[in-house]
Structures are given as C-alpha cells and as structure tokens.
Chain A
Amino acid sequence: MSRRRALDTAAAVRAGELSAIEVLEEHLGAIEAAEGDVHAFNLVLADAARARAEEIDRQVAAGSDPGPLAGVPVALKDNLCTRGVATTCSSRILEGWVPPYDATVVERLRRAGAVVVGKTNLDEFAMGSSTENSAFGPTRNPLDLSLVPGGSSGGSAAAVAAGFATLGLGSDTGGSIRQPAALCGVVGAKPTYGLVSRYGLVAFASSLDQIGPFAVDVPDAAALLEVIAGHDPRDSTSLNAPAPSMLDGLSMGVDGLRVGVVSEMLEGVEPAAAAAVQDAAEALARVGARPDKASVPAAIYGLSAYYLIAPAEASSNLARYDGVRYGLRVDAPDVTAMFARTRAAGFGAEVKRRIMLGTYALSAGYYDAYYGRAQRVRTLIIRDFEEAYRSFDVLLAPTTPGPAFPLGAKVDDPLAMYMNDICTIPSNLAGHPAISVPWQAPGASLPVGVQVLAPALGEPVMFRVAAAIEALAPPRPEQGAGR
C-alpha cells in the first residue's frame, strides 16, 4: 500500500470518498503484520479505534463534519493520559494505572476527528534516547530491526515509520521527538514552549517538556500541531496568545530567507550528519534562500547544563511516585521504608540514575555549583540564540550526531547515550521550536535528520523551510513495515 497522508485522508473522509474504517483497517493490518517484530505499542486499541472510525463514518453520512483530522489514525506516546485506558510511561511503578482524565491534546485530537490506535512505547518516563529503557522491552527500528528507533518517543516514531499510524504524538524534553524522527526517517517537531498544553502529559522536566507531532511529511506535522496548539487554562505555563497558523506558509517557498548553519553543531558529529546539513543548505540556496555560517557559542555547554537541570526537575516531579495514591506499592513496616522499597522496585536503572543525579545537584552544598550554574548557562544559550536570530530567520543543524545505532550499543554507557542529544538540547533550554526532516544521501543505507531551528513562535517560518528541505531532499527508497 502507498503511505497515506493525513491531509489527504481527512479531505477524502470529510468528502465521503473514503471511509474511516477502511483507513483504520489498513493500519491495523500493518500492525498485525509487523508489530510482533517492531514492538511500537504498549497497547493497541483496535476495538475502540474501530468503534471510533465507524462513528466518524456515521457523522459524515449524517452530513456533519468530524473535523480537520477526520478518520486519521494517530498513535499516542504512553505518557499522555487517556481516561479509562492504562497509561504506563513504560514503568512498573505505573503498571495498571488507569487515568481518571484525558490529556488536553487527547481531547483536541478527538474533537478534530482523529482515531487513536494505541499507546506507544517509550524510555521509562521519557528518560533515554533509544527506547531500550522500557519496562516492557525495547522497540526496534522499522528501517532495520537490528537498530534502535531512538528515543524517548521511539514507539511513536516507529509506529509512523512502519505505517501503523498516519500520525503520532510524542514529548520532547531534550530531543525525544526529533532524535527518534531522524533515526526512523520521519518528520518530528518540538513546538515553542507553552504552545501546546502539558495538561495530562506525565511530567519529566517541567520547564523543558513539550508535546509535538510525528508525521510522514512536513505538511502533516504542521496540520497535527495546528490541531493541538493553543491556550489551555488547565496548564499554567500555556501561552495565553493565539497560536500562529502552521499551514499558511508551507507553499510560500524560501526566497530571500536567511538560513544560518550552526558551526558548533557540525563539529564532533559523524560526516554523514554534517554533510546532510551542508547539502541541504546548498539546495536551499538554489531555490533562493541565503545560507551562511552562524554561531551559537554557548550551545556546546547545553549538554552539561541539561544533564543537571532536567534531572533536578525530574527528581522533584518523580517524588510523587510513593505508593500512596496510585500505582505500585511494596509494603514495609513504616512509611519511609515503604516509599524507598516501592521506588526501588518500581523504577528502572536510568530513572534511578537521573533521580540520584538531580537530588545530588539540588542538595545542600552543591546547589549553587551545579543547578544554579546550569541555570546561568541556560541564560547564556538564550542570549546567543537571540544574537544569531538578529542575522538569520532560521538556523540549520544536524538532528543527531549520526544515524540509528544497534540495540545495546550505548545502553551501558550513560554519557555516550546522552551525547545523542547534543544538537537538540539547546532548543529545549531556550524554549524554541525545532523540527527534524529526513535526509538520506544517494547510496546511504540510513537517513539522518536535518534540523531547522527557529525563535519562539517561529513555527510558520520553521515549517516553510522544512517543507522546502523535504522537497529538495534526495529521493529515498520506499520502506516497508518491518522489512
């Protein structure tokens, strides 16, 4: 089957030319054929999805409009709360927990006519870059099953890459949407901080977390973001301003746009990752953009700052898993021992490592030297971005240091795993949007990602440039689900 696009599917379903149930059955067939190999999902919601698709078809038949994503199958990262449907964060500590409410993004998807096909696997509590840190086993890369899909939103990236869903939602704290998108050869975007409500997203690092889209192409990613963006009074960090239109600029081209290639992010990455960015910049120049070298000097300190700030916030956020109100409890004679045993049994190694790191960085005698200093470095990074955006409309960088790597290659070396995020973290620290677009050089066996970075609320120009890069990218071999 040729891969369906969300915008085409929704248009055809709304016009009564295609049934939502037919679209869904195609995707459920792909899941049936290859999910056993890929393991993208923690839970496939086949029956609920069929009921929902039939409801949408009835709405169309009755003359009402189900919405801009009518009949489009969507996969949800399993850290997004779904009322009445288990939400695990791929952690033993939440196994069996059934949220009593829906995340705002889930409500908005429903209002837009989307069909949720399942909850996808992730690194436990979104901590990781390979989806190997899941209590329920790793997800594999549909492009090559011996490789990781990236992470932490590896299940959603793999689901879209394998044709299990047309669209996916993930969360991105340090690159957890863009990095797996790059490794699986799909599009993934992290929006401006505050653009998408975090209500119902299980918190990891609250000043960095953002929900964002996965899609097969840039217009579909823009369409999904348009549906989920916008102010929500239930998230006190939600931007109280109208969201910009994501789709209007897509066909405007890039004539005259100033595109800065971030020098610091080309150093220390594999040649294929750097070459893709250089090739994309040259291709953009041929269609009228004005690429030049850009510098964000403090970005090289982003990794160090991030691995103090994010664990510090996580150690605070994850204090709530104490065996009292929900999830796992391991009994003990007194309450302190009950907390400590419950958390020891419920959390995996990476989550424990980050809680320990964050607790240490916040502890007496170390706060100023680690957490306080990291917050000052965050300011320096924001200032350097502001300076760069005086000269450029968008910035270009690799998404990751290289293409997908084998399962097991980095899982025992936390620092090597953390290096995956070196080009994605600065956007999270600054709260800026960024998108990864697949780029596979002729003859290369795997894609890498070209990342387009933009200033806060710069999504329209970010999508414009991303759409141009997608159109200019070398043609990729057609991939089948699970090979």
Chain B
Amino acid sequence: MAGDHPGRPISRPDVVHVAHLARLELSDEEIDLFTGQLAAVLEHAADIAALDTDGVPPTSHPLPVRNVLREDVVVAGLQRDEVLAQAPAPEDNRFRVPRILGESP
C-alpha cells in the first residue's frame, strides 16, 4: 500500500488488508459493508485536505505533557490471583495461549 495516496477511494482489498492489520476476522458481508461506509466517512474527511496546514504544528494532546515520573518507592500492585482469575486460560501463574509461529503443538 505504500505510495498510495488518499485521492483514491478505499477499496475492498484495502479493507481486507486493514482487517488483517487490526486482527479482525471479518465476514464477506462485513467487508462489503465497511468498504462503502469507510469510503463515505473518508470522503467527508477529505474537506481537511483542502486546508492549508503548511507550517502548522500537529497537536497530539491538549496539554503540554512531558514524561511524568513518580518517586521510586514500593507500592502495592494488583493481587496476582485476582488478576489471573480473570484470564480465559491461566496455567501455572501464567496466561496460556495457542501456539505462536510454527512451533509443533
């Protein structure tokens, strides 16, 4: 997709690619629906493309935030058992997940 530009409306293959990036397994119907709906929202958003923003700095945050550090003192964290009790598949005080990469099962 690199090198593409927003002059072209979002396409069905774009939506399939973005769904993979977002780790969403979409149905064919959802892909069709979102292709049209995202195109409509992005077309509306094209009005800001006409604005002259040369030399305007971006705002990522409403406050002039910097790194906020706290004193290096020990404070109580969350209770391990309470946290693990919320996991779908806890095992030996860890979170069990299906296999990653090409490991054998």
* Residues in A lying within 8 Å of B, measured CB to CB: 97-98, 100-101, 193-194, 207, 233, 236-237, 239, 301, 303-305, 307-308, 315, 319, 322-329, 331-341, 343-344, 347, 349, 352-353, 355-357, 359-360, 363-366, 369-370, 372-380, 382, 414-415, 418, 429-431, 456
Knowing A322-B23, A341-B25 are in contact, say whether A377-B40 is a contact too (CB < 8 A): no
Q: Can you name 15 A-B residue pairings with CB atoms under 8 Å? A: A304-B48, A324-B95, A335-B97, A336-B23, A344-B24, A352-B26, A356-B34, A357-B38, A357-B42, A359-B22, A363-B1, A370-B45, A373-B51, A373-B53, A376-B56
Across-interface contacts of A340 in B (CB, < 8 A)? 20, 23-25
The 8 Å CB contact of A325, one of B14, B45, B68, B86, is B86
- Check A323–B88 contact: CB distance below 8 A: yes
Chain A residues with CB below 8 A from B42, complex form: 357, 360, 370
Given contacts A100-B82, A322-B23, A418-B41, contact A430 B68 (CB under 8 A): no
Q: What chain A residues lie within 8 Å of B24 (beta carbons)? A: 340, 343-344, 347, 352, 355-356
A338/B97 contact (C-beta < 8 A), A364-B1, A418-B41 known: yes
Cβ of B3 within 8 Å of any chain A Cβ, yes or no, is: yes
- B48: chain A residues within 8 A (beta carbon): 301, 304-305, 373-374, 377
CB contacts (< 8 Å) of B97 on chain A: these are 324, 335, 338
Q: Is B58 an interface residue (CB 8 A)?
A: yes
Given A334-B100, A343-B24, A373-B49: A379 and B58 within 8 A (CB)? yes
B95 x A325 contact (CB < 8 A): yes
Main secondary structure of the interface of B (DSSP, over half): loop
In the complex with contacts A304-B48, A370-B45, A359-B18 CB distance below 8 A: yes
Which single member of B18, B23, B45 contacts A307 (CB below 8 Å)?
B45
Chain B residue nearest to A383 in the complex (CB): B56
Contact A375–B58 (Cβ < 8 Å)? yes
**Contact bitstring B1-35, A, C-beta under 8 A = 1, else 0:** 11111100010001100111111111000100110
CB atoms of B98 and A333 under 8 A apart: yes
For A318, the closest partner residue in chain B by CB is B22
Asked if residues A335 and B25 are in contact (CB atoms below 8 Å), the reply is no
Decide if B74 is an interface residue (CB 8 Å cutoff): no
Closest to A382 in B: B59
| In the bound complex, CA of A353 to CA of B33 (Å) | 10
State A319–B58 Cα separation when bound (angstroms). Answer: 24
| B40 adjacent to A414 (CB under 8 Å) | yes
**Residue of B10, B19, B49, B95 ringed by the most chain A CB atoms within 10 A:** B19
In the complex, which of the residues B40, B44, B53 contacts A376, with contact meaning CB atoms closer than 8 Å?
B53
Closest partner residue, chain B, to A193 (CB atom): B62
Complex Cα spacing A100 to B80, Å = 10
On chain A, the residues within 8 Å of B15 by CB distance are 356
Neighbour of B21 across the interface among A207, A327, A363, CB < 8 A? A363
Q: Is the interface of A mostly helix, strand, loop or mixed?
A: helix
* Chain B, Cβ-Cβ closest to A313: B60
Bound complex: CA A414 to CA B41 (Å): 8
Name the one of B20, B22, B49, B100 contacting A355, with C-beta atoms under 8 angstroms: B22
| Chain A residues whose C-beta falls within 8 Å of the C-beta of B34 in the assembled complex | 352-353, 356
Contacts of B6 in A (CB 8 A): 366, 369-370
Closest B residue, CB atoms, query A360: B18
Taking a contact as CB atoms under 8 Å apart, the answer to whether A376 and B89 are in contact is no
A331–B88 Cα distance when bound, in Å, is 10
- Closest chain A residue, CB of each to CB of B17: A363
Additional 16 contacts, C-beta under 8 A, given A194-B62, A341-B25, A373-B49:
A100-B82, A101-B78, A332-B98, A333-B99, A334-B98, A340-B24, A343-B22, A343-B25, A353-B37, A364-B1, A365-B1, A369-B6, A370-B6, A375-B59, A376-B53, A377-B51
* Distance, CA A237 to CA B62, complexed state (A): 10
| A375 with B26, Cβ < 8 A, contacts A233-B70, A307-B45 known | no
What separation, in Å, do the CA atoms of A194 and B21 have in the docked complex? 32
Q: Which residues of chain A come closer than 8 Å to B26, judged between CB atoms? A: 344, 352
Complex: A308 Cα to B47 Cα, angstroms: 12
- Which residues of chain A are within 8 angstroms of B37 by Cβ–Cβ distance? 353, 414
Question: B4 contacts which of A100, A237, A356, A365 (Cβ < 8 Å)?
Answer: A365
Question: Are A193 and B63 neighbours in the complex by a CB distance under 8 Å?
Answer: yes
Contact of B98 among A308, A326, A331, A414 (CB under 8 A): A331
In the complex, the answer to whether A356 meets B19 with C-beta atoms within 8 Å is: yes
Per-residue interface assignment for chain B, residues 45 to 75, with 1 indicating a CB less than 8 Å from any chain A CB and 0 otherwise = 1111101010011111111010010100000
For the complex formed, measure the closest distance between the CB of B52 and the CB atoms of chain A, giving whole angstroms. Answer: 9
Residues of A within 8 A of B14 (CB): 360
Q: Which 4 A-B residue pairings sit nearest by Cβ, starting from the closest?
A: A431-B62, A375-B58, A329-B88, A376-B53
